[in-house]
Amino acid sequence: MSNFLLVVGHSERFGSLRNILDEISNGSQGDRSDGWLASGWRYSWFSHRAHADAIGGGGLFTGFAVDDKNQIFAFGSEGWRQQNQLGGGADLPGCYVRVGWNEGHLTVHGDVFRMMPLFVSTEPGVLLASDSAYVLMQLRRRLNLPVTLDRTVTEAVLWPNAMAAQLLGSRTLVREISYVTVGGHIRLDLRIPNSRASMSYTDVHTQFSPEGDAYRHELRTAAVRIASTVHTVATSGPEHARLALSGGKDSRICLAAVLLSSQVKHGAVFSCTNTQPQHQRDYEVVQALAKEFGFDLGSRLPPDHRTRQIRRFPQPFTLWLTDQSLCYYPFKVQSYALAAPGPFSIAGLGSELYKGNYELQTLPQVISSLAARMPRVARAVDEIATDALLAAGVQPGEPQSVEWHYLLLRNALHGGRFVPATKLGLRPLQQSNLVGLAKLAGTARFPELEHPSQISDDLLALLNPSLAARPFDKPGKNGLITKQGVAVS
C-alpha cells in the first residue's frame, strides 16, 4: 500500500467504515492503529508499524525531519517528540507527515517541500488523507462515495509541457480528491459532528525568505547546512550516504560537501547511473572527477553484502498506480529499492527552486503563449494554476509567479516519486532561505545577485573552488570561478 492512510470519522459515520477498514488491514494489527478523538470522533491510522507512529499527548508522525536550527535529525515519532522539546514544531525539510489534535481541531501537516505527498478527501463527518490519491479513490469506491472526473483537469493535461507533467494545482483528476500543496495543511473541526475538513495555507513569501541582510551570509548559511547534513548521514554508518552523480552542477554541489571531510569521502558510496550512450559525457565527467579527487565509483562492500542490500518489487506497476498514476504523468516504474534501513539516497534535486527553472516568467506570460496554440487548454491551465498560486499568497502577475508554481507542484511531485521505495531520500540543496533569496525582485535584490541562476554557481564555488573549475557535461556550464568568484571571495 502507500506510506500512510488516515481515516477520521464521527461515531455517527464510523460504524459504516469499520467493516471496510477491517478488510483493508486484513488482520495485520501491526499496520493499523485506532483511537478516540474529542466529541465522538475516532480515527484509524494505517502505516508500517502504525503503533510506533503515536506521539505522546495526541498525535502521529511518520518519516524523518531535518531541523537545521537545532542541528538534529528527527526520526519517527520519538525523534519528532524530542525535536519539539527543543522548541521545534514548524514545518521542516525532510520526508514526513504529522497529525495532531486537541479538544477542538485535528490538523495534518507535511514536510516543508512536500517530499511526502499529501492528498485529502472529505465528506460530512469523514476525513480521508493519504500520500496516494489512488488509495483514496479506491477507498471512496469501497465506501460507495462519488468518484467524479474533473474535466478541467483532463483538459489541462493535454498541454505537452513539463509544467503539466504533474498536477497543476490542488485539483486532481478526481473532483473529490485534492492535493495539499507546499505551505498547506488540513484542518478538521472536531466540535461539529458533520464538519468537513478544509485546507489552510501559509503565505509562501513568509515561509520562504532570506534569513539575513547579506548575500554572502545566505550562501554560507546554506553551505554549512548542506555540509552538516551530508556529514551527519555519512558518519552514521558505512555507505549510509549514497550519492548519485552526473556531469551537471547540482550533484556536484553535494559532492563538494562530501569532499570537505576525508572521513565522509571514505564513508560514502558514489555512483553514476548515466551509462547509456546519450549520457556518455555524464559518465566521462564523473570518472575524471573520481580519478582527480580520489574517490571510488561503486560500493566497496563485498558482493554478497551488496546483493542483500537490494529488494525488488514483485509488482512494479502496482507501485506506480499507488504512487504516480493520478498526480505524475510520465510513466516511471521503479522496480527495486534498498532493503536495509539506514542508507540515504542523496541527490542534487532542489537547486531548480532558486536558479529559475521556468525562465522567471509570470503565469499570464505562459498562458498568453499557450493560448495562441491551444486556447481551450490554456483556459484550463490558467484556472487551475491561478487557484493554486492565490491559495499560497502569490498573485499570478507578480514577478516569478511561475517559479513559485514550480515550488508548489513540480518540485514536490517530481522529487517525491521515490517515497514508496524509501522515505530516506535526502535533498540537501532544498534550502528555504535560498528559495526566498532567488524570489527577491527589484530594489530588494542583493546587489551581488545579478540573476537567480548565479546562486547554485556561487554555492559550488564556495564549497569547493577546484570542483567548480572542472569541466561539466556541457561547455556552457564551464568557467564558474571566473564568472562568479567575486560573490564568494
Residue-wise pLDDT tens digits, 134-156: 999 999 999 999 999 999 999 99
DSSP per-residue string spanning 197-238: -EEEE--HHHHS--SSS-HHHHHHHHHHHHHHHHHHHHTTST
Q: Phi and psi at residue 439, in whole multiples of 5°?
A: -90, -5
Q: Among candidates 229, 183, 225, 256, which has minimal Cα distance to 433?
A: 225
Asked if pLDDT for residue 82 goes beyond 90, the answer is no
CA–CA dist 180, 117 (Å, integer): 8
Q: Right CATH number for 215-353+411-488 from 1.25.40, 3.40.50, 2.60.40, 3.40.720?
A: 3.40.50
- List of residues 6+ apart from 200 with CB closer than 8 A: 184, 185, 187
Interhelix angle 133-142/316-323, rounded to 10 degrees, is: 90
Instruction: Note the pLDDT of residue 391.
Output: 98
Question: Average pLDDT, stretch 246-258?
Answer: 92
Question: Average pLDDT, stretch 181-193?
Answer: 97
Asked if pLDDT for residue 480 goes beyond 60, the answer is no
pLDDT tens string 281-319: 888 999 999 999 999 888 777 766 656 667 777 888 888
Pairing of strands 105-110, 425-426: unpaired
Residues of the chain with CATH 3.40.50: 215-353+411-488
Instruction: Note the pLDDT of residue 489.
Output: 32
Question: Average pLDDT, stretch 63-74?
Answer: 89
Instruction: Note the pLDDT of residue 105.
Output: 97
The pTM score is 0.93
Are 241 and 267 spatial neighbours (Cβ–Cβ below 8 Å)? yes
pLDDT tens string 86-111: 666 678 999 999 999 999 999 999 99
Instruction: Note the pLDDT of residue 305.
Output: 62
pLDDT top residue among 331 and 304:
331
Q: Among candidates 117, 99, 80, 77, which has minimal Cα distance to 8?
A: 99
Of 140-144, 296-300, 342-346, 416-420, which one has max mean pLDDT? 140-144
CA–CA dist 294, 300 (Å, integer): 14
- List of residues 6+ apart from 123 with CB closer than 8 A: 145, 196
Asked if pLDDT for residue 368 goes beyond 70, the answer is yes
Question: Average pLDDT, stretch 223-234?
Answer: 92
CA–CA dist 110, 412 (Å, integer): 11
Residues of the chain with CATH 3.60.20.10: 4-153+176-202
Edge-to-edge strand order for the sheet containing 344-346? 269-271, 241-244, 344-346, 425-426
Instruction: Note the pLDDT of residue 266.
Output: 87
Length, in residues, of the chain:
489
Instruction: Note the pLDDT of residue 484.
Output: 42
Are 48 and 31 spatial neighbours (Cβ–Cβ below 8 Å)? yes
What is the dotted CATH code of the domain comprising 4-153+176-202? 3.60.20.10
Which grid cell sits at 484?
562568479
The position carrying cell 548559511 is 221
Candidate from 239-248, 249-258, 417-426 with smallest mean pLDDT: 417-426
Q: Give the chain's mean pLDDT.
A: 89
pLDDT tens string 263-281: 888 889 898 866 566 667 8
Instruction: Note the pLDDT of residue 311.
Output: 72
Question: Average pLDDT, stretch 208-234?
Answer: 92
Name the pLDDT band for 21 (thresholds 50, 70, 90): confident
Instruction: Note the pLDDT of residue 197.
Output: 98
Asked if pLDDT for residue 362 goes beyond 90, the answer is yes
Q: Among candidates 184, 173, 216, which has minimal Cα distance to 448?
A: 216
